Structure 1
Amino acid sequence: MDMTVGMVFLLWSMNVFIEAVGLGNSSCSGAAAVCGNVTIPYPFGIKPGCYIDDSFAIDCNNTLGSPKPFLRRLDLEVLDISLEGTLRVNYPTTPWCPKSEIENATSVSLASSPFVFSKLRNIFVAMGCDNLAYLQSDDSSNSSLRIIYGGCMSVCEKDGIQSNGSSCNGIGCCKTTIASDLDGFTTRIESTSASFKRTEDCIYASLVDQKWFEENLTNHFEVRKMSHVPVVLNWEINANLSSRVMGGDSSHSTCQFANRSSSLGNMSSTFTCSCNSGFEGNPYLVDGCHDIDECANLEVCSFYNLRYPCVNVLGGYYCDPISDHKSHSKIIIIGISTGFGLLFLFIGGWWSYKVVKKRKNIKRKEKFFKRNGGLLLQQQLSSSEVAVEKTTKLFNSKELEKATDNFNVNRILGQGGQGTVYKGMLIDGKIVAVKKSKVIDEGKIEEFVNEVVILSQINHRNVVKLLGCCLETEIPLLVYEFIPNGTLSQYLYDQNEEFPATWDMRLRIATEVAGALFYLHSAASTPIYHRDIKTTNILLDDKYRAKVADFGTSRSIAVDQTHLTTVVQGTFGYLDPEYFQSSQFTEKSDVYSFGVVLVELLTGEKAISSTRTKECKSLATYLIHSMEENNLFDIIDARVMKDAKQEEIIAVANLAKMCLNLNRKERPTMKEVAKQLEAIQTSQKTPNVQQNYEEVEYVRTEMYEQWDDVSTSTMSGADSGLASSSGPRPLLYF
């Protein structure tokens, strides 16, 4: 009788435990369900009690022809589920027809769910001509506090014609990455063109599975015909549900807990489980992880033509030593024979190998030399019209490998978007900087060669000198003079007690950089636009004289040419807003970037800073706003306030403000900027000379009057960071 009661109690206890973990339904044995051709593993499930939580509930919809699984709460079709924490769904695209100037669309919200959009697996794409598309927070309660998560701009190739769709490179189609832990957003599209809009012009923007978009589509514009595209979600289980996981933290599986933050800043504790090494299966089920039979692979215990016995053990395997004497003898005989054979083969083939390798290296270097434009460069350098043979050298690869200790990481001076710079010492003891550029498109070889020749002809004391190049390597190498004291950015923002950033030194550096840019724009044999002026591209030599560097994005133009039309390149904070909108770069675009550098020298502040208020994140806007509010001296660096006269600060600040004019036509040329800085510097050095004082006052008065003429018409909208509503709107706050 007592035994019967005990058995009944035991069966009742097991039933309570099974129901507690969600397997009370006899049909939920832990095996994965199937809907259509999609497998639904636990913690997901279809029937009640077969899933860990309602957020993981799947509805198998049979009304669409073939059965299709849908996430019950989000109503998104499921394409596949991975126990590694990802879920692919069919996600709606966002089309607008006809095209309007500004459009918004809110995404499917994943807030309060275990899902977020995968940063590693998804990209944001936008299609259409002359559009700026970006993701922002969907907090409708406060539009002024919306956060931008990513964006891109697409332009038309010419006459409104889009590309053929084989690549999404910014012409008719653009793409970008998204933020981490993103669970909701609003898609915003703005038109950057004021041209006539046809009713059939449509614009599209959506998240999309990057692998599917780049590998499965032969034509990216096919997305425009789709109402839904694949998107990957990451999933994690709320820590409060850990008691419902049936296999986690067993001897064959492990669960890891973490804190996840939403895009609104909310924190939640979550966890994921995985099978231990040597096991596979579902770690969320009891005994869901089972041993992998490594011995099924016949190669695991193979040695030459012999195969040792393989013994599979729980979570691994081992190869059993052979005890048979004959097998040992066979191994010894084979080993000795093989050893002698290899020895003779090595001795006989070593010389042949050396000869073949040497010839192969010679042919390889010749191939790279031709591919990188070496023949064209030799022709240019030997031309009677180009007088650079004596100053420009074609280095060989061995010479530069030896100089940089085989490009040792300890020799790296800096890294950027155009390549990596190494410190090297030539055979004659001269210290140089060797730039290892990125791979050059073969279609741009002639442009690269012309650029090398142009840079070889630059002869200015405030421009880093190009000494030569090496073209017999896969990646072209450029050799520059070595500048020892780092960048202007390091000098301004890192403490230097031995050589502090005094006002005299700042003013001298500004004057030297302005003179170098004036030389590039006007005095060089062929006008050159630098296109990336910033404090990190201004180096300081042993006497702290300025040297303009990094001409990786620079371009030369014809004397009668007024602008370049290119894909927008540059650094936010220094980028000319008018160039950002029109893709047309002029000499005045360099003037704008130099204006930002001037403000950095005055304030000691960085071009973009998250510590300033949202409307003043851009240093250019910060200066303009402060001057209009008569708070200029509140933002000036303490060192400058101590060393400089107030009239000097006002003069330089007004000059910077003119350079930062949103209308490029109203900006001064670099020649005018250089002259005004020289005048201020001259007045500083000889304050008692009446003639110099009157000259500076004339220049300064002329500068004030010029600014007064344009400030009311072009800078009235500077408070909001935008131009007037009738003109283009610069994006100063990205």
Structure 2
Amino acid sequence: MDVTTVVVSRRRFVRRFVTAAAVAVAVVALQLQLLAAAAAKNNCSRRCGDIELEYPFGVQAGCYHPGFNLTCNQSYHPPRLFLGDGTVQVLGISIPNATVRINSSVITLYDDDRSKDVAWWGKGLSNTGPYFLSESKSLLALLGCNAQVDVMVPAAAADRRNQTVVGSCTAICPPSISDNSTIGAADDDVCSGIGCCQTNIMLGYPSYLIQMKVLEGVHLPILFVYMIDQGFNFSMDVFFGKHPRGLPASLDWIISNSTSTRPRNASAPECRSAHSSCRDSVANAHQGYRCECSHGYQGNPYIIDGCNDIDKCSSPDIYPCYGNCKNKPGGYDCDCLEGFKGNATLLKGCEGSTIALIVCGGSIVLFLVIASPFVIRVIKKHKEKKLKEKFFKQNHGLLLQQLISKNTDFGDRMIITLEELQKATNNFDRTRQVGAGGHGIVFKGIIGLNVVAIKKSKIVVQREISEFINEVAILSQVNHRNMVKLLGCCLETAVPLLVYEFISNGTLYHHLHIEGPVSLSWDDRLRIALEVARALSYLHSASSMPIYHRDIKSANILLDDSLTAKVSDFGASKYTPVERSEITTAIQGTIGYLDPMYYYTGRLTDKSDVFSFGVLLVELLTRKKPISDTFDNGDNLISYFIKLLSKGNLVDILDPQVKMEEGGEVHEVAILAAICTKLKGDERPSMREVEMTLENIVLKKGPSCRGNTTLCRPDENGNSALQTLIEGVTTEASRQYSMELEMLSSSFPR
């Protein structure tokens, strides 16, 4: 061997030795890291009192994800758990649902001290997260008399006028029950509006400003305000002076204040389990993401091996199988029994041959062994059937049976199974959600070849169920081209589901209040107003039983591809017996559109819808929002509009596009709007008269009052009743909109 060969051999030996040494060092370092991680894990407390703690939550440093530190106060027996530095008590933690249940402290407000008529909820929560009030579970409740509380989103400035109201609640007490000892809840243990009111909180923020307004009448000096979970049972103890210091509320939490940059179902550093992925938050008020276990797995996605496979074969109610079930990671196999073929996940989905049946019949013991799991599943299916029957009765299913008995074709068309709706919406996937109204969440789906809208309630309480059934009862008996069409309903769930025709072009509010100088043309606005008037006139007089809508507003007017108007959202509507012209009912409606006389008296008439329609006409003329826009001296839209009309300065408030496109008919429409918004209901026209007036304006075939002899017949001086009415409007404008419309600044729970 020469010298060169020896040198090369030595160099190879050195390189191999260095490589082996590096590998050994890396292995030792990895072992040290694993030992350190194990030691840290062993040093982390995993229980405080009766609450289990899992990562990302923890008490000691190094045991939690940033922002998820907790405090375990050992001075209580048993110990109590608190968020962060120990100001907000934790009642429970759900990692799969990404929620924390807390003890929400009562907020007390005093009407005799203006410095104590406001308070903050959520002082112990950081404005940057990770905790936010749950949007899907939260409710504000007020206990008191003749008072209103507003829930406002914190603004950058301290000026209360710059706060944004996201919820409001008004509780009233007649003089006979203004005593605190006699204030009670409704029969179904929910706030009735007498001595107690409640409103949903649809935007989840870490904190809110709660402000009190005292109304006229006898009131309690102290108000009690709670932020609680929806569906809370207002037991009588809450109303008899035993106001608890705190009630349960739910917080949502997220890992980050920015959305995940990874696609859905992709992994993220925080999602440490092998079978986990990150999912962006769908909350309206904040952005972020959290981890979840993959389909077929359950557990904690934030720790290594935290997501474990679910034994699908032991949960036939969730993973049905009527044959041989074999579990596998993330799924399961379900095969028909030997001698049979078909789909074993469906009841009677497997078909057998004659030979197989003979073989099974020849061995009774084998048959029993094979049939026993099947029998068990049939029993479970029978229980599911009984549960569906229970829901059917609970959801007033007798109404649907009556419809079937009257019209078999109609009844068969109305009945839609839960399985069909789950298939149509991909099991109600959030990506199919197209909107949320006062009575439920709306999903877009496909049934057969038809695109449909499916409404699903957000709250499982009897009041919401009754409103859903009320909407079914109304829409099933009306048929008008300018009303949204009900296609069917499903009563197989705890909360009924309604299926409508899908209106693809959004709401009138969306088209009217888009950014920019140009909106709907004046001709389209006038036609839409006429179409809405026709629908309301039909409801009031042409249907078998008069129906009052109670919530006419631009957000409840849908537009199809040809901009044809469709009146929607009948959850607040009321039947009226033919022999009666008015009914007394709980106040419902939308601020800015609500009839003042209905608000003060509680008596609902057809003229209540006329008032709301008059506000809609003003909105079409001005492109101003009846709720948020304010004008000189604090006037709202209607009072300011009538003042300008009375002074002959209507042009100052008209939409510039209307001024450019109108052909001389705007003044007639403005007068009609003023008459519709008269304070006294009996001085307003009927919807039939409004319809006829608008038809004449649109068709340009005569005076605006053609066919309306009551309003337009001239007197001996040549003046019509229409002119007299507008003169009456101008003289009473200040009286009508001073105290009354100031009181109307409250909103009412739907």
TM-score interval w.r.t. the shorter chain? Answer: 0.5 to 0.7
Match of 1:583 in 2: 602
Match of 1:355 in 2: none
Q: Does 1:60 align with 2:94?
A: no
Match of 1:567 in 2: 586
CA-to-aligned-CA distance 1:503-550 (integer Å, 9 cap, x gap)? 89987997898799899989999997564556799999xxx9999999
Aligned counterpart in structure 2 of residue 144 of structure 1, from 139, 161, 185? 161
Match of 2:88 in 1: 76
Query: For the residues of structure 2 that align with 1:261 and 1:512, how far apart are their CA atoms?
Result: 36
* Structure 1 counterpart SS, 2:610: helix
Deviation at 1:106, TM superposition (A): 0.6
Match of 1:132 in 2: 148
Please say if residues 273 and 301 of structure 2, whose CA atoms lie closer than 8 Å, have aligned partners that are also in contact: no
Query: For the residues of structure 2 that align with 1:321 and 1:703, how far apart are their CA atoms?
Result: 79
CA-to-aligned-CA distance 1:124-174 (integer Å, 9 cap, x gap)? 233334443342123352323312222334445894253356421534444
| Paired residue type of 2:603 | Q
Match of 1:348 in 2: none
* Structure 1 counterpart SS, 2:735: helix
- Structure-to-structure mapping, 1:373-392, within 5 angstroms: none
| Paired residue type of 2:243 | K
Match of 1:384 in 2: none
Please say if residues 510 and 555 of structure 2, whose CA atoms lie closer than 8 Å, have aligned partners that are also in contact: no
Give the share of equivalent positions with the same residue, in percent. Answer: 26
Aligned counterpart in structure 1 of residue 227 of structure 2, from 182, 196, 207? 207
Aligned counterpart in structure 2 of residue 177 of structure 1, from 180, 200, 211? 200
- Structure-to-structure mapping, 1:171-320, within 5 angstroms: 171-172=193-194, 173-192=196-215, 194-197=216-219, 202-210=222-230, 213-214=232-233, 221=239, 225-238=243-256, 248-250=270-272, 252-254=274-276, 256=278, 258=280, 263=285, 270-276=288-294, 281-285=299-303, 287-289=304-306, 291-292=308-309, 294=311
- Of stretches 544-553 and 59-68 in structure 1, the one that deviates more from structure 2 is 544-553
Match of 1:429 in 2: none
| Paired residue type of 1:229 | L
Match of 2:447 in 1: none
* TM-aligned CA distance change 1:124 to 1:731, over 3 Å: closer
Match of 1:46 in 2: 59
Match of 2:99 in 1: 86
CA-to-aligned-CA distance 1:463-518 (integer Å, 9 cap, x gap)? 99x9xxxxxx9999xxxxx9x9x999699979xxxxxx998998799789879989
Query: For the residues of structure 2 that align with 1:281 and 1:557, how far apart are their CA atoms?
Result: 56
| Paired residue type of 1:68 | R
Please say if residues 144 and 171 of structure 2, whose CA atoms lie closer than 8 Å, have aligned partners that are also in contact: yes
Match of 1:105 in 2: 119
Deviation at 1:665, TM superposition (A): 6.5
For normalisation by structure 2, the TM-score amounts to 0.59
Deviation at 1:581, TM superposition (A): 5.2
Query: For the residues of structure 1 that align with 2:31 and 2:42, how far apart are their CA atoms?
Result: 13
RMSD: 7.1
Count of residues in Structure 1 that have an aligned counterpart in Structure 2: 617
Please say if residues 276 and 307 of structure 2, whose CA atoms lie closer than 8 Å, have aligned partners that are also in contact: no
Aligned counterpart in structure 1 of residue 185 of structure 2, from 163, 184, 202? 163
* TM-aligned CA distance change 1:587 to 1:302, over 3 Å: closer
* Structure 1 counterpart SS, 2:158: coil
Query: For the residues of structure 2 that align with 1:316 and 1:401, how far apart are their CA atoms?
Result: 36
Q: Does 1:593 align with 2:612?
A: yes
* TM-aligned CA distance change 1:620 to 1:103, over 3 Å: same
| Paired residue type of 1:141 | A
Query: For the residues of structure 2 that align with 1:178 and 1:58, how far apart are their CA atoms?
Result: 26
Query: For the residues of structure 1 that align with 2:90 and 2:58, how far apart are their CA atoms?
Result: 12
Deviation at 1:560, TM superposition (A): 8.6
| Paired residue type of 2:407 | N
Please say if residues 238 and 271 of structure 1, whose CA atoms lie closer than 8 Å, have aligned partners that are also in contact: yes
Match of 2:406 in 1: 395
| Paired residue type of 1:103 | D
Query: For the residues of structure 1 that align with 2:283 and 2:104, how far apart are their CA atoms?
Result: 23
| Paired residue type of 1:196 | V
Query: For the residues of structure 2 that align with 1:179 and 1:301, how far apart are their CA atoms?
Result: 34
* TM-aligned CA distance change 1:338 to 1:416, over 3 Å: farther
Match of 1:707 in 2: 729
Query: For the residues of structure 1 that align with 2:302 and 2:607, how far apart are their CA atoms?
Result: 62
| Paired residue type of 1:148 | V
Deviation at 1:251, TM superposition (A): 6.3
Ranges in structure 2 where 5+ consecutive residues have no aligned partner? 1-16, 178-182, 261-266, 339-352, 365-388, 425-434, 443-454, 486-491, 514-519, 705-712
Deviation at 1:68, TM superposition (A): 1.5
Match of 2:108 in 1: 95
Deviation at 1:181, TM superposition (A): 3.6
* TM-aligned CA distance change 1:279 to 1:29, over 3 Å: farther
* Structure 2 counterpart SS, 1:87: strand
Please say if residues 125 and 174 of structure 1, whose CA atoms lie closer than 8 Å, have aligned partners that are also in contact: yes
Aligned counterpart in structure 1 of residue 654 of structure 2, from 623, 626, 635? 635
Match of 1:498 in 2: none
| Paired residue type of 1:273 | C
- Structure-to-structure mapping, 1:506-655, within 5 angstroms: 531-533=550-552, 553-556=573-576, 564-571=583-590, 573-580=592-599, 582-600=601-619, 602=621, 605=623, 620=638, 623-624=641-642, 627=645, 630=649, 632=651, 635-636=654-655, 638=657, 641-645=660-664, 648-655=665-672
Deviation at 1:655, TM superposition (A): 3.6
* TM-aligned CA distance change 1:694 to 1:463, over 3 Å: farther
Ranges in structure 1 where 5+ consecutive residues have no aligned partner? 324-330, 343-362, 378-392, 421-435, 467-472, 477-481, 495-500
Query: For the residues of structure 1 that align with 2:748 and 2:321, how far apart are their CA atoms?
Result: 64
* Structure 2 counterpart SS, 1:225: coil
Please say if residues 658 and 668 of structure 1, whose CA atoms lie closer than 8 Å, have aligned partners that are also in contact: yes
For normalisation by structure 1, the TM-score amounts to 0.60
* TM-aligned CA distance change 1:582 to 1:108, over 3 Å: farther
* Structure 2 counterpart SS, 1:176: strand
Deviation at 1:228, TM superposition (A): 1.3
Deviation at 1:401, TM superposition (A): 3.2
Query: For the residues of structure 2 that align with 1:539 and 1:272, how far apart are their CA atoms?
Result: 35
CA-to-aligned-CA distance 1:210-233 (integer Å, 9 cap, x gap)? 36x24x968665895310112222
CA-to-aligned-CA distance 1:187-230 (integer Å, 9 cap, x gap)? 234344x222355xx5322221336x24x968665895310112
* Structure 1 counterpart SS, 2:42: coil
Match of 2:673 in 1: 656
* Structure 1 counterpart SS, 2:671: helix
Query: For the residues of structure 1 that align with 2:335 and 2:417, how far apart are their CA atoms?
Result: 45
Query: For the residues of structure 2 that align with 1:301 and 1:714, how far apart are their CA atoms?
Result: 63
| Paired residue type of 2:217 | S
| Paired residue type of 1:76 | V
| Paired residue type of 2:57 | F
